[in-house]
Structure formats: C-alpha cells, structure tokens
Structure 1
C-alpha cells in the first residue's frame, strides 16, 4: 500500500502541473518574475535614454572643439 502511494506521487510529480493545479507559490513566483522583468525593461529604457543624451552631448562638444582654435597650454603655464 505504501509503495503504491509513493508511485502515485512520483507519477504526479513527473506530469507537468496544469494551470488549474499549479500551487500558489508557483503563481507568486511567476508574478515576481514578471515584475522583475518589467523593472529591468524600465531600467534598460532609462539607460538607453541616458546613453543617447550623453552621445549627443559628446557630439556637440566635439563640434565645438573642432570649431574653436587650439589652445596652446605651454604658453599659459609659464
């Protein structure tokens, strides 16, 4: 009798749980995973925006540097 109940449990574990029989902790984990994914997506978008802004600033700075005449630092230090 004990062996049969153990075998039944193993069979139940071997079968993938359907959506209706999935335990509450599984649902909670899936929800947490979804929240983490959303947070990561938002952070990624913010980082991409920062990168875009910084690359634009660098481009502006380079244009300004190419327009202005070169500064002779040797003459100034003396």
Structure 2
C-alpha cells in the first residue's frame, strides 16, 4: 500500500469509521455524559481525535515528501536567482 493510501486511511478512514460506528452503536442509548446524550459526547470526542489522526497522517506519511519538495523548490529558486 502506498504512503498516499495509508495517509488517507488514517486521516479520513479512521475518523469516518469511528463516527459512524459510534452513531450506530450508541444512538439507542439513554446514557448521558455531562448532561449530553452519549452519542453527542461521542461525536464531540471525535473532533479532537480527527485532528490527531490528521497530525499522525502528516507526520508518518506525508512530511518527508513535502519537505523534500520544498527543499527542491528552494534549491531551484536559489539557482535561478544566480543566473
């Protein structure tokens, strides 16, 4: 599996499955968390968890490629300035 696919699975797939599974499993529950129905608490929890998934996808799979492209662009622009 390519790094692009791994990154997409982590950044998009994991939050999608987490939110969807929570809705399916918790929608009939009458439990509450701090006065909110548990399904809403589950959805609120996935807001920061989605950000963490995006961060880990960037760090693990995308960062090196992006930094290499940035270095190449910087080197190309610096050599273009000398001409």
Q: Assess same fold via TM > 0.5.
A: no
The structure showing larger relative contact order (alpha-carbon pairs under 8 Å, at least 6 residues apart) is 2
* Range of TM-score over shorter length: 0.3 to 0.5
Q: TM-score, normalised by structure 1?
A: 0.41
Which has more radius of gyration? 1
Q: TM-score, normalised by structure 2?
A: 0.39
More strand by share: 2
